[in-house]
Each structure stands twice: as C-alpha cells, then as structure tokens.
Amino acid sequence: MSSYRAPWWLPGGHLQTIAAALAPAPRIAWRRERWDTPDGDFIDLDWAMRADGSEGPLMALFHGLEGSSASPYARAIAARALEAGWRCVVPHFRGCSGELNRLPRAYHSGDSTEIGWILQRLQARYAPGGVLHAVGISLGGNALLKYLGEAGTDARVTRAVAISAPLDLAAAGRALDRGLSRSLYTRVFLKTLKKKSFAKLRRHPGLFDAARLRRAGTFWEFDDTVTAPLHGFLGADDYWARSSSAPYLGRIRIPALVLNARNDPFLPEPALDAVADMRRDIPVNVTLEFPGTGGHAGFPGGRWLARRVHAFLSAA
C-alpha cells in the first residue's frame, strides 16, 4: 500500500489525497465503548489512553464520510495526542463502527445535534471541569463547525479544528459528481453507502426507493434518494443548503481552526475564496488557514497534520 505511485497525469490534489489514504499510520490500541442514544439506537466510541493512565486533556475526533478509528488520519492524530499525554476518543457516526445501527436514520454532513449530544456527555463524564477539545475531518469537520456555530458560547469544547470540511456542500457535491473526482472517489464511497443502505432497507422495508438507489451514480442522486428523506430534508438541494457549515462560521465563539487546502478535489477553490471573502463577518477567534496544497486531508504526511492540530489545540 505504501508503495503506491500515482500516474504522472494525476493532478497534485488527487495525488496528495490518495497518498494520504494509503500511507502507513501508527497502530493504536483502541478500547471500545458502546453508548445507547436518547432515541433508542447506539454508537460505538474507540478510546486511546496512555499506559500510565494519565488524565490529560481529552480530544474527541469526528471522522469523515465512511471513516472510522482505523482511518490513517485518526491514527496519526491520536498517536500525537498520546505522545503529549492526552486522551483521544473517536465517536463513530451511526453505522460506521462495523455494525449497522438499529434505526432508519444514519448520519450526514449536518448532523450537529448528534455531535452536540456526544460532546455534552463526554464533558460531563470524562472531562468535568477539565479540557475537552474537538477535531473533525471532512464530513465530521463540517458537522462540527455547524454545531459550534449553533452552540455559540454554549459550545462544550475548549478549542476545535476542522480539516478539509466541505464548507459548501453544493459546491463539493458538484465537484465530486463530475470528471476525475467522480471516477476516483464517488464510485468508491457510493459502493459502501449503497451496500449499507440496502441492508437498512431489508431491515426497514419501504424506507426509500430501492430501484432509484440502485441507479444512483452521483452523490446528488444518493442524497436525494436516501440521505435527505431519512433525515427530514426535502431533497438533496435542501440537505446541502441547510447542512453547509460556511454560514455558521460567523457565530462560532471558541478558538477554532478551519484548515482547507486550495487543491482539495472535494471542494473547488472558488468555494474557499467565497469563505475568505466573508472574513469581515467571521470573528477573530476563528482562524482560516487555506494553504495552496494538501489535497483532501492529505497535508504533507500524517505527522505534519497531527502536529498542526496539536499545536493549535495546545495554544494558550
């Protein structure tokens, strides 16, 4: 896997994205815990703790689309946290821990209510009076930023980092549903998403249109068929508009880092320019960092990304 060589014609953003996904990452001795949700479902959380049992700051890491604690970025960031004497927990979105969740609902890019509930419980049980930081990658980063904007001064975390968050879901969806991105990423994601959705349909007959799901070849078609109706949206366009995190950046009241590469194949550069143009409406506690390269969560090696995350979270 680590010997992957991208074709010469593959643009830099794609190359960095794929290289990061295939890069070797530290092994983490995760300890799993299951929580029952308020609505009768469950989520699984994987914990990384120092062998000496130290009770340092706690970092919650929310993974990306179809990600988990096994994702290379999660393992790299967790390893850096452990080196610093921190604790790290990866709450899995419903259906992402290796077992299908019980209810019809799944998870989505605007699932800020779920993140809020998780952070509230983490703070109460594992960081009462202490430090709780939050990191979100891609989909998890978008949902985290949306939560922070909605919560304002009531946010349950001390500092936060969002990495490669699709700040404008419509722009991201259009980028992923055409050209090389559709061939490289959309087909891969849809393969696992559709498999889970058909399993859910067998458990909950009539939940959505099976024939339409079978034909879905783009994120718009999948979200319009499955994601939107399962989570109370009128369709894919309504889901993308109401779940994008960019409109919530101006309402964030804790120190937060928004880290997006300008060559991210998941989000076109004009979408980042539009966010940068909002700078006057975004408070100084929100840092926009848009380097020229890095792909999608593919910043120069997992170690660099882990160090950048830790440096921001540990700043005074």
**pLDDT digits over 215-252, tens only?**
999 999 999 999 999 999 999 999 999 999 999 999 99
Q: Would you state the pLDDT for residue 75?
A: 95
Decide if 79 is inside a domain.
yes
- Enter the pTM of the model: 0.94
Question: Which segments in the chain show pLDDT lower than 70?
Answer: 1-12, 301-302, 316
Alpha-carbon gap, residue 67 to 92, rounded angstroms: 8
- Please, which residues have CB within 8 angstroms of residue 109's CB and are 6 or more apart in sequence? 65, 139, 142, 143, 166, 169, 239, 243, 244
Q: 137: which DSSP letter?
A: E
Same domain, yes or no: 174 and 39: no
**Domain final residue pick, 196, 219, 243:** 243
Decide if 137 is inside a domain.
yes
Same domain, yes or no: 279 and 291: yes
Catalytic residue numbers read 138, 264, 296
Same domain, yes or no: 208 and 148: no
Decide if 164 is inside a domain.
yes
Question: Tell me, what CATH number does 303's domain have?
Answer: 3.40.50.1820
Give residue-wise pLDDT tens across range 148-192: 999 999 999 999 999 999 999 999 999 999 988 898 899 999 999
**Domain final residue pick, 243, 277, 297:** 243
Q: Would you state the pLDDT for residue 301?
A: 61
Q: Would you state the pLDDT for residue 148?
A: 98
Alpha-carbon gap, residue 207 to 191, rounded angstroms: 19
Decide if 70 is inside a domain.
yes
Alpha-carbon gap, residue 86 to 28, rounded angstroms: 14
Note whether 86 and 127 are within 8 A (CB): no
Q: CA nearest 241: which of 153, 136, 147, 146?
A: 146
Alpha-carbon gap, residue 61 to 83, rounded angstroms: 16
Same domain, yes or no: 108 and 232: no
Note down the domain range covering 216.
170-243
Same domain, yes or no: 130 and 46: yes
Sign of the CA dihedral 183, 189, 190, 195?
positive
Q: What is the DSSP string of 163-197?
A: ES--SSHHHHHHHHTSHHHIIIIIHHHHHHHHHHH
Sign of the CA dihedral 240, 107, 17, 215?
negative
Q: Would you state the pLDDT for residue 12?
A: 64
Same domain, yes or no: 136 and 20: yes
Question: How many domains does the structure of the chain reveal?
Answer: 2
Q: Would you state the pLDDT for residue 7?
A: 38
Q: Would you state the pLDDT for residue 50?
A: 78
Same domain, yes or no: 54 and 116: yes
Same domain, yes or no: 183 and 198: yes
Same domain, yes or no: 155 and 282: yes
Decide if 25 is inside a domain.
yes
Q: How many CA atoms lie within 13 A of 31 on its CB side?
A: 8
List of E strands, the chain:
31-36, 42-48, 58-62, 87-91, 132-137, 160-163, 256-259, 286-289
**Domain final residue pick, 243, 268, 299:** 243
Q: How many CA atoms lie within 13 A of 146 on its CB side?
A: 25
Decide if 191 is inside a domain.
yes
Query: Does an H or E element contain 22, and which?
Result: helix 12-22
Decide if 2 is inside a domain.
no
Same domain, yes or no: 163 and 183: no
Same domain, yes or no: 123 and 206: no
Same domain, yes or no: 207 and 218: yes
Q: Would you state the pLDDT for residue 158?
A: 97
Q: Which two tokens stand for residue 38?
A: 């308020």
